[in-house]
Copies of this chain bind each other. A is one copy, B any other.
Amino acid sequence: MSTTNKRITLAQRPVGTATEVCFAHDEVPTPAPGPGEFLVKVEYLSIDPTIRGWMAYDTYLPAIEIGAPIRSGGLGTVVESNNDGYPVGTTIFGMTGWQQYATFDRGVQIVPEGIPPEAALSVFGTTGLTGYFGLLEIGRPVAGETVLVSGAAGATGSIAGQIAKIKGCRVVGLAGSDEKCAWLTEVAGFDAAINYKTENVRRAIREACPDGIDVYFDNVGGEILEAAIGNLALRGRVVLCGAIAQYNDERPSPGPNNLGVLISKRGRMEGFIVLDFLKRSGEAIKNLGAWVKDGKLTYTTDVIDGLENAPAAFDRLFTGANTGKVMVRL
């Protein structure tokens, strides 16, 4: 165990894209766990778009303090423990932050043996649960309905879309490259995929969803949200999961100009935060695990090595360089 703890902290709040100036790299002494605490050696960091909000302002969680490690989910092993519930050798997932070591006294989940770290952080992690609960509890798809997913090759979108497929829906995904689109239809089993960077999105959505969209799972916001609302079916639902197209805006972008469609189509648009569903994660992980085992659900990861590369890994979310779950391996 190292006596020093390398960290990446918040140097300044981002305006627009979170560039290197927002991050400071430092080293502090490795903390010693106090009574009831345990020390975790971090092995993987979960790199998520929501971190952009935490860096900038209060959201559903207070903003990260300047000088504090970047708030982040992470997976690691207990290396020192004063807590019988978390003995040395236990693998946990918790809010480790971007650093090599973190202490906890509670508030972490034990990762069961036999689950590889990359699965624990993706399909069985926050992003998988986000896709699961967002689609099923907010979108409430019914077999035979049409489900459109944006950010469909991302960690959450790919899970949401595949679950919709498992539930008997026609599933269309939006992604930003032909390679991602090929992955969606050839590997993930989507019925159709739209490259939003090269196609006329409005027309492509209309053609791929001729009976309208019953559930739109929105990870991006912006023009694609407007296009999806414009093609909503009667009693269509819009699941507001994220709006990555807007997180780096220097000032707020206009919203969809066609909310009247929600009236004439009796539509529902609803946001959610996966934290509210974590008490039901056992049920979700059981179902997700069975689908993975049966070959009905696949996942892919985008693993970047080295804590020092966490900012670059984070940037991949916004440039769309990743297919699947972005994570950093320490």
Residue A157 lies at the interface, judged by CB distance under 8 Å to chain B: no
Give, as a whole number of angstroms, the nearest-CB distance from A3 to chain B.
39
A261-279: CB near B (< 8 Å → 1, else 0) gives: 1111111111111001000
Quick one: given A255-B254, A257-B254, are A271 and B265 in contact (CB under 8 Å)?
Answer: yes
B255–A256 CB distance below 8 A: yes
Q: Which residues of B contact A255 (CB under 8 A)?
A: 226, 254-259
Count how many chain A residues have C-beta atoms less than 8 Å from C-beta atoms of the other chain.
34
Q: How far is the CA of A276 from the CA of B264 in the complex (A)?
A: 11
In the complex the two chains form, what is the Cα distance from A241 to B266 in whole Å?
Answer: 10
Q: What is the chain B residue whose CB lies nearest that of A225?
A: B259
Q: What chain B residues lie within 8 Å of A264 (beta carbons)?
A: 53, 59-60, 271, 273
Is chain A's binding surface mostly helix, strand, loop or mixed? loop
A221 and B273: CB pair below 8 A? no
**A70: CB under 8 A from chain B?**
no
Cα of A246 to Cα of B258 in the assembled complex, Å:
10
Asked if B266 contacts A262 (CB within 8 A), the reply is: no
Copies in the complex: 2
A203 to chain B, nearest CB (A): 18
Known: A254-B255, A269-B268. Contact between A263 and B243, CB under 8 A?
A: yes
Query: Is A253 an interface residue, CB under 8 A from the partner?
Result: yes
CB contacts (< 8 Å) of A262 on chain B: these are 240, 269-271
Closest Cβ neighbor of A265 among chain B residues: B271
Chain B residues whose CB sits within 8 angstroms of the CB of A241 once the complex forms: 263
- CB-defined contacts of A260 to chain B, threshold 8 Å: 53, 59, 221, 243, 246, 271
A270, B267: Cβ atoms under 8 Å?
A: yes
Shortest CB-to-CB span from A198 to chain B, Å, is 25
Q: Is the CB of A266 within 8 A of B259?
A: no
Complex: how many Å from CA A268 to CA B246?
Answer: 20
A242 on the interface (CB 8 Å rule)? yes
Which one, B240, B242, B254, B273, contacts A254 given CB within 8 A?
B254
Q: Is A295 an interface residue (CB 8 A)?
A: no
A259 — which chain B residues lie within 8 A by C-beta?
221, 225, 240, 243, 255-256, 269, 271
A-B interface, 3 closest residue pairs, ranked by CB to CB distance from nearest: A254-B254, A255-B255, A263-B271
A-B contacts besides A241-B263, A255-B255, A269-B269, 9 pairs, CB < 8 Å = A59-B260, A60-B265, A240-B262, A243-B259, A243-B263, A254-B254, A254-B257, A265-B271, A267-B270
* A–B pairs, 13, beta carbons within 8 Å: A59-B260, A60-B264, A60-B265, A240-B263, A243-B259, A255-B256, A260-B271, A262-B271, A263-B272, A264-B273, A266-B271, A266-B273, A267-B270
